[in-house]
Amino acid sequence: MTDSALTIEHVRKDRGKTTVLDDVSLRVASGERVALLGHNGAGKSTLIKTILGLTPLTDGQIRIGDAKPGSAVARRTTAYLPEAVSFHPALTGREQLQLFARLDGQKADVPGLLDRVGLRDAMDRRIGAYSKGMRQRLGLAQVLLGNPKVALLDEPTSGLDPISRQDLYAIIDELAANGTAVLIASHALTEVEAQTDRIAILRKGVKVADDTLQNLSAQAGLPTRLRIRASGDNADQVAEATGGTRINGVAVEILCTPDRKMDALRRVAAMGEVITDIEMTPPRLEDLYRHYAREGAQ
């Protein structure tokens, strides 16, 4: 990877006698969207805190571009959206964002930004009267304000309705398209499956996976599910010929590993008109996550 906006190298973080991050390396390129997954306590928030320079490393190093975490340059070029973002309840959305812009020394189109995150009608209302989703949108406006090189989003869609989630990912896509490196810590597997370029999984502070969904699938060798529909009362014959399992009157299911998939498809296709339909379901991120996050997997 040539253009690494965020470089994490051999990071170790001990808390007392516990190692909460163990030799973690991760790179996020400009314009890339990487999901950071892991069970509760896996170390995701700790990793984000180390990137922000909020907690010192025991070993290893992190760079935002060429800058060290916590340095003036890193702070200027890194944006962070915490899971439960909080603002001053007495300010309006517009006042809060204007305040951030002033603190950043920026001339920003505050109403334009608030419009972009869907807060046009609410920008002059007090934040104390905002819903969680509206506060989250305001947080995203704050992220956009800085035009950051690196954006760290911690559970950005938690508590949002489906439409707000889609809106939020549309804005994240826009950030990435403008060159921001985006790291999203999340438990929402179905969302990140569709919305990120790469998946990194932490287990007990150790990175156990870091690749595209497609490559992780291939490496894990998890089976693809073929569901075959048979004509008439041929399901038994199809089950016997393919070694599959009858799942109802007309369908047979076969699980095949990546190396057996094409062979199985050819055999099924050769059965001619006995087969009326084939549905193919590749392993989902949920299956991969279970595979990589489980004890003993690597």
- To ligand ATP, the closest distance from the beta carbon of 291 in angstroms equals 18
Residue 135 touching ligand ATP (CB under 6 A): no
Q: DSSP code of 13?
A: E
Residue 189 is inside which H or E element, if any?
Answer: helix 189-195
Residue of the chain from 10, 41, 132, 170 that contacts ligand ATP (CB under 6 A): 41
- To ligand ATP, the closest distance from the beta carbon of 13 in angstroms equals 8
Residue 20 touching ligand ATP (CB under 6 A): yes
Q: Residue 218 burial by CB count (10 A; 0-12/13-18/19+): exposed, middle or buried?
A: middle
Please identify, using beta-carbon distances, which residue of 39 and 229 lies nearer to ligand ATP: 39
| Closest to 50 measured CA to CA, from 209, 159, 193, 202 | 202
Residue of the chain from 33, 34, 38, 144 that contacts ligand ATP (CB under 6 A): 38
Sequence letter at residue 280? M
- To ligand ATP, the closest distance from the beta carbon of 239 in angstroms equals 43
DSSP, collapsed to helix, strand or coil, labels residue 110 as helix
The phi, psi pair for 137, rounded to 5°, reads -65, -40
Contacts of 288 (CB under 8 A, 6+ apart): 199, 209, 213, 216, 217, 220, 222
Name the one range near ligand ATP by CB under 6 A: 25-33, 39-47, 164-172, 216-224.
39-47
- To ligand ATP, the closest distance from the beta carbon of 153 in angstroms equals 13
Residue 40 touching ligand ATP (CB under 6 A): yes
Site for ligand ATP in 176-195 (CB under 6 A): none
How many residues form the binding site for ligand ATP (CB under 6 A)?
A: 10
- To ligand ATP, the closest distance from the beta carbon of 50 in angstroms equals 10
Residue 42 touching ligand ATP (CB under 6 A): yes
CB 252 within 8 A of CB 228: yes
Please identify, using beta-carbon distances, which residue of 132 and 267 lies nearer to ligand ATP: 132
Name the one range near ligand ATP by CB under 6 A: 36-44, 112-120, 169-177, 254-262.
36-44
Q: At what angle do helices 213-220 and 285-293 cross, to 10 degrees?
A: 60
What x-and-dash track marks residues 43-72 binding ligand ATP by CB under 6 A? xxxx--------------------------
Sequence letter at residue 162? P
Contacts of 61 (CB under 8 A, 6+ apart): 9, 10, 11
What is the binding site for ligand ATP (CB under 6 A)? 15, 20, 38, 40-46
